[in-house]
Amino acid sequence: MKVPYIDLKAGHDHIKGEIHEAISRVVENSWYILGEEVSTFEKAYADYSGTKYAIGVGNGLDAISLILKAVGIGHGDEVIVPSNTYIATWMAVSGTGATIVPVEPDIRSGNIDPLAIETKINSKTKAILPVHLHGCMADMAAIKKIAEKHRLFVIEDNAQAQGAILDGKKSGSFGIAGATSFYPGKNLGCMGDGGAVTTDDEEIYKKIKRYRNYGSDIKYVHEVLGVNSRLDEIQAAILKVKLKYLDDWNDKRRKIAEKYNALLSGCEQVITPENISDASMVHHIYRIRTTQRDKFRLHLENKGIQTLIHYPIPPHLQKAYEHLPFGKGAFPIAEELATTSLSLPLYPFMEEDKIAYVGESVVSFFE
């Protein structure tokens, strides 16, 4: 049996008619940039997220970058980030000229450890940038308490947890602003690239709307230096369709994760995902850990099961960051996660026989 890591076509087949209708509507209207599809999606996504505003942008990296710019972070400032995140989180901070201050995760959840955050705060610290990794929300109550104590911005990287809920609030609604990505493989993904910022702050909303469009509110009138980072009409139309199904798809992800948990419950050599907060997990990925990761991955590959590693090289060991004073051993938890983590196939319309086959194949390696 062949089991892909993700099957985007399986999800799209269920809504093919609605997707085609949405694309046709844009083509018929022939307005492709910053039109009604974008504005109505922004309203729908803000309502879904429980925020006053949402601003569609070109991608998730731009979403973080524009928030950092809007709150005034730049040279001389420090921003606290996870040591084990996808590199886009770090790159957004680098783009401002601010200093990256990595903090290790709690190894159980993979999310930034609030207990370690406070030890890194000094007079130059301006923001904490938690990432809700793998569909599991960071401990936002603890992080917000620390931020309020030290008068810091909290900027959420919500690219992997769209729809997660903690204490009745959606991910992306806890900080001064939240950034998300609509890369096709995300829980809410478009058919190209896209991203968004969510916020309750009117000034940030106005600034980012201006920044994303060459620093302009009025055509050919440019008040500030901006960029070209605009969610296009076709992607917005597609996202409007898919947003209606997000909660259902997240529920399907949870049920698949629960089945995996049951199938692997007797396998002591495998550590399954652990949610150490009260938030609902939305399982962007299903990441397990084992000290035999590479041999185990080859075993699954030989059985036709595709897997991914999130992430094989931590940011501090990437060549792009070799100029920073972080060599091997600087962040041992991030490095351990990089050598032991493996993500199993998980997507909303994964068939029962494939779920069972993956579970059986995992167990057979350790018998």
pLDDT, tens digit, 9 for 90 and up, residues 307-328: 999 999 999 999 999 999 999 9
- For residues 250 and 187, what is the distance between their CA atoms, to the nearest angstrom? 7
Q: Out of 3.40.50.720, 3.90.1150.10, 3.40.50.150, 3.30.70.1050, which CATH number does the structure's domain 247-366 have?
A: 3.90.1150.10
Return the domain boundaries, the chain. 8-102+110-243, 247-366
Position 279 pLDDT exceeds 90: no
Our CA dihedral for 261, 262, 267, 273, rounded to 10 degrees, sits at 10
- For residues 48 and 165, what is the distance between their CA atoms, to the nearest angstrom? 11
Q: What is the mean pLDDT of residues 119-143?
A: 98
Q: What is the CATH number of domain 8-102+110-243?
A: 3.40.640.10
- For residues 302 and 84, what is the distance between their CA atoms, to the nearest angstrom? 29
pLDDT, tens digit, 9 for 90 and up, residues 76-101: 999 999 999 999 999 999 999 999 99
Beta bridge partners of 195: 57, 181
Q: Which residues, at least 6 apart from 77, have a Cβ–Cβ distance to it below 8 Å? A: 96, 98, 99, 124, 125, 126, 127
Q: What is the pTM of this model?
A: 0.97
β-pairing, 78-82 vs 99-103, is: parallel
Q: Which helix (H) or strand (E) holds 79?
A: strand 78-82
- Percent of the chain's residues with pLDDT above 70: 100
Q: Kindly tell me the burial class for residue 167, based on how many C-beta atoms sit within 10 Å of its own C-beta (0-12, 13-18, 19 or more).
A: exposed
Quick count: other Cβ atoms within 10 Å of Cβ 266? 9
- For residues 41 and 318, what is the distance between their CA atoms, to the nearest angstrom? 36
